[in-house]
Structure 1
Amino acid sequence: MKILSFFNNKGGVGKTTSLYHVGFKLEQMGYKVLFVDCDPQCNLTSHILEFDVIENAWSEEGKSIYDALKPIIKGAGDVKYIEPLKIEKRKIWIYPGDLLLSNYDSALSESWTQVLARQERGFRSTTAIYRLFTKFAEDKEIDYVLVDLGPNLGSLNRAMLLSCDNFFIPLIPDLFSLRGSQNLGATLVNWIEEWQDSIERIKVDFEFKLPQGNPEFSGYITSQFNEFRKRPVKAWQRWESEIPQYIRDYVYSPLAKKDLPLDIEKVEEELKIGQVKNYNSLIPLAQTALKPIFELTSKDGIIGDHHRYVKECSASYDELVNKIISKV
């Protein structure tokens, strides 16, 4: 089992869309996939589930992540085990997100203080979602757990990134996306060091499993660029050319823990794992059909050149997913 996330401090960079398509492509390749929606905006959940299913999951006897966390949020116990929802006729499961998950984010701020003080309650709260999905994943022999995160450096994302084995950074080639990457490496290093220092100093064994808290940065993906005559337009090319230096200086170097950073000319070669273009009108069609773009058919409204774009999308994600598999 590998636990992966796509993360960026900047929103609107194709994070959820990329994670969603990677998960469905992995399943096409024969792997078992578990999605965990930890973004209170619930975009991943709305891409996968019908609205009536989501409404039921949010009911009093619901099956969202928030329902599993209620005992911890209320200070009345540990995480409540619930099974994720299975996608019909597919080897895909999802723990649905919930807008109320922001309440857990608030509770985790206090929990981190307890972690630093090496108190069991802090570790129990911080690892609640991790313990929830790893129990199911181990029981069902899940191959890949894909965790969707919101665009921020809050307490919930800290807990989830420390639970991951690998993470990837989606980027749009623009000023704001690059600016949002500048504090990623330094912040992650601080979280990792504080977590590992705390678990090394624990004097008693807890009855529950702790993640190692050492997520590996495994590459970046550029997305949502436009093409003219099969080449990215100039406005995108300018910012695209600056990405390798940003990635090296603000993400790779702080996390690498090496004396010498990766040579700038090798960053793109070794750390850029994919480039996904903007499929424009195909995205709403995919959302309506609750399918990835590369599975859309004429019945979903695909006409004319759209068929070519569907094939291009499939080939693009074949290449991207194969690189991800090789990285992790």
Structure 2
Amino acid sequence: MAKIIALFNNKGGVSKTTTTFHLGWKLAELGYKTLMIDTDPQCNLTGLCLNADKENKLTQFYEANNYNIKSALSPVLNNEMRPLEATTCYEFEHNENLFLLPGHIEFSEYDATYNIAENMTGSLVVLQNVPGALRQLITMTSEKYHLDFVLLDMSPSISATNANILMGSDFFIIPCAPDYFCYMAIESLIKVFPKWCSTYDNLRKAEVFKNAIYKMNDTVPKFLGTIQQRYRPRNGSPVKAFSEWIDDINKIVAEKLVPVLDENGML
């Protein structure tokens, strides 16, 4: 089973997408078969990858291909009468170990389904496979392509969809930018992560989800750390205005976020 790593921050513009792209490319260069999944309906990772590899062929790609995160999960999230299957992935011409599952702007429409599945706590049998569907899709696709790593580029929102994506991962990274709004985002995550843990702990205990075909993982994701980016360097270090925010963000992560994650088994 590939290691699943989510990149998440509820603040936008912190380089989640470019971090996913460069990390994925480098892992693949080092010989690890790596899949990048664009779970953000804005599809920035998809655009970046296809433009970098094929010179602006986005329109032609979507017209010619029907594999993306929305279509891959539609058997479960649209309640279609067919099982999940390992999805086809985009293969890069210049990096044979790298793959992409493209995003889709309509993936956001599934948030209502995730939200109902979470809040009904399993009382609707028709939704019993929803929480475990993405993890199962990744497992099947990992076997198909013999993957070592799966990187999930997530949207900057506190949504039921993002709760499912992160709680179905093995690890997560929080990309950061040195500014006040990113500091506020970390403050909010201190409250968000325990709620997500509690929600999915309750789902795992619900009898209907225990009987699902596509079961949830029984572990919580582990925090790998933050990545500080989007600052101006001088003599190899961030200039003062940025370095002060980096210090403040590192401090709130160490003193407030890490203890909360530790309490919830996420370290």
Shift of 1:78: 5.5
Partner of 2:37: 36
- CA deviation profile, 1:34-93 (whole Å, cap 9, x unmatched): 111100011111111147654355338611111223344443345643311222251111
% identical aligned pairs:
28
Verify: 1:112 aligned to 2:113, yes or no.
Answer: no
Instruction: Give 1:85's aligned amino acid.
Output: Y
Partner of 1:139: 144
- Which of 159, 165, 177 is the equivalent residue of 2:182? 177
Shift of 1:189: 1.5
Partner of 1:231: 237
- Which of 210, 214, 224 is the equivalent residue of 1:218? 224
Verify: 1:197 aligned to 2:202, yes or no.
Answer: yes
Instruction: Give 1:242's aligned amino acid.
Output: D
Partner of 1:278: none
Contiguous gaps of at least 5 residues in structure 2? none
Verify: 1:64 aligned to 2:63, yes or no.
Answer: no
Q: For 1:167, what is the secondary structure of its paired residue?
A: strand
Following the alignment from structure 1 to structure 2, what is the Cα–Cα distance between the partners of residues 242 and 68? 41
* Higher radius of gyration, 1 or 2: 1
Following the alignment from structure 1 to structure 2, what is the Cα–Cα distance between the partners of residues 105 and 78? 21
Instruction: Give 2:223's aligned amino acid.
Output: F
Following the alignment from structure 2 to structure 1, what is the Cα–Cα distance between the partners of residues 139 and 123? 23
Shift of 1:98: 0.7
Higher relative contact order (CA 8 A, sep 6+): 2
Following the alignment from structure 1 to structure 2, what is the Cα–Cα distance between the partners of residues 30 and 69? 28
Q: CA 1:53 to 1:62, structure 2 compared with 1: closer, same or farther past 3 Å? A: farther
- Which of 225, 247, 253 is the equivalent residue of 1:247? 253
Contiguous gaps of at least 5 residues in structure 1? 259-326
| 8 A Cα contact 1:78 1:128, kept in partner | no
- Residues 134-143 or 195-204, more deviating: 195-204
Output the TM-score relative to the length of structure 2. Answer: 0.87
Shift of 1:112: 1.4
Q: CA RMSD in A?
A: 2.3
> When the two structures are aligned, how many residues end up with a matched partner?
258
- CA deviation profile, 1:249-290 (whole Å, cap 9, x unmatched): 4421111018xxxxxxxxxxxxxxxxxxxxxxxxxxxxxxxx
Verify: 1:159 aligned to 2:160, yes or no.
Answer: no
Shift of 1:197: 2.6
Partner of 1:311: none
- CA deviation profile, 1:181-233 (whole Å, cap 9, x unmatched): 11213212211122123213426533323223511111111001102233311
Q: For 1:146, what is the secondary structure of its paired residue?
A: strand
Q: CA 1:164 to 1:171, structure 2 compared with 1: closer, same or farther past 3 Å? A: same
Output the TM-score relative to the length of structure 1. Answer: 0.72
